[in-house]
Amino acid sequence: MPPTPRLLGVATAVPRYRLDQDEVIERVRRLFGGAAQLDRLLPVFANAGIRTRYSCVPIDWYDRPHGWTERNQIYLCAALDLLTQTTNRLLDRARVAAAEIDTVVTVSTTGIATPSLDARLIERIGLRADVRRLPIFGLGCAGGVLGLARAASQAIAAPGETVLFLVVELCALSFRRDDFAKSNIVATALFGDGAAGALLSSDGTGPAISAAGEHTWPGSIEVMGWDVADDGLSAVFSRDVPKLVGTRLRPAADEFLARHRLVLDDIDRCICHPGGAKVIAALEAALDLVPGALAEARAVLRDYGNMSAATVMFVLERVLAEASPWRRALLTALGPGFTAGFLVLENR
């Protein structure tokens, strides 16, 4: 039997600037006042299910144009600060020293870093010089689940060693004040900034990662992702995402579970990336959950917005902190590809 990776701890962090959704709406009215379609798109903000979000820059930063170089420099500084906070919290909670970490898996898709973020963290948080690094780019919103699965694979490959999984996304930096496209307005209504992390090892106690997998649908490259523009990254969203979740997720989830001799009735909790209010409703329908069952996902969306890959880790943190018992949980997230990530956690 291969070793079983376990979660030794989970931690999250957000930047200092808090954005109130009503304040964002007023700012958008001012910036996009000349757009003919603005009144038609403003209900996106009210219907997003978001009250607050966090940003690595103050709200008045968005009033001015910014180029790719400036945006990426802010990304590098803010991402490293958030990852440092996350790691320090995680090490404190798990009572693990930075020098005990053998591998770092880092997921991010909202900026470019070469040397990668994990390399820049080595001296900052006191990692060993021989720590193994696996930076991952391009997973988008699915990166929380898929990245955690990659970290679990590293823990299986090196029994007894400690793996640090980190994810940071600064989605709000992608706002483009001169872009009147619907995708930009939707992104402005949804996106926030945040970071999260987990420690894994086949030694120790904590929920076991018993299965992981993914499904990429053919002919779906254009469903979501980034376009690269002169002034930064431009969000790509298909209006059909909730419909795709409602019609395609369940068969893929059933196939994944069947490969591991499970069915949906074997799952006690669903821990889902909350892409938006409509996506959460589609997830509940697709997974045969009662309306409102994904309360933790809704709460994270309400309090933090969509932080892309980091968001599902915020949901996981809340579930792990609850007193209500569960035996087996299914983590899901969807991202560019168009890809669904799946992971099974077991309390055993």
Residues known to be catalytic: 141
Candidates 335, 45, 57; CA nearest to 172 is 57
CA distance 108 to 113: 10
Contact by Cβ (8 Å): 21, 50: yes
Interhelix angle for 143-157 vs 311-321, to 10°? 70
Q: Look at phi and psi of residue 175 and say left if phi exceeds 0, alpha if psi is from -120 to 50, else beta.
A: beta
Candidates 142, 144, 157; CA nearest to 103 is 157
HSE of 329, CA atoms in CB hemisphere, 13 A: 23
